[in-house]
Amino acid sequence: MSEIEDPACYSNGQAAILIRAMVAVMLPTIELPMEITLQQRHDISGRLRSEVVNVAMRDLNMRSLQALMILVIRDYGDGRIAEAWNLMGVCSARECVVPTSAN
């Protein structure tokens, strides 16, 4: 297991899903000081993306919606329009039931 895949690298709080989403998006495009091939970075990114989607589907909160939107932007930018719209649909449907705080 590489350092990137190590769960100890991430916070256990609500921000963890956001961090994973950001790493999934950035990992294929950045240069790393460790020896890891482009294919390995893409594989790890795909696993992190799947993890973010699975966690977000199980735990409905604003952070999970934000993480899904990060993935939507990446999918759309990568030309995976169908995947982007599927996640966008999930975000839209779940947004209706996310409790908001009254000001």
Cα 72 to Cα 23, 36, 48, 95, 102, distances in angstroms = 14, 26, 14, 15, 28
pLDDT for 81-99, tens place per residue?
999 898 888 887 765 444 4
pLDDT for 34-63, tens place per residue?
788 888 888 999 999 999 999 888 887 888
* Percent of the chain's residues with pLDDT above 70: 77
The DSSP annotation for 7-58 comes to: GGGS-SSTHHHHHHHHHHHHGGGS--SS---HHHHHHHHHHHHHHHHHHHHH
pLDDT for 101 beyond 70: no
Place of tokens 């100890």: 8
* Average pLDDT of span 63-78: 90
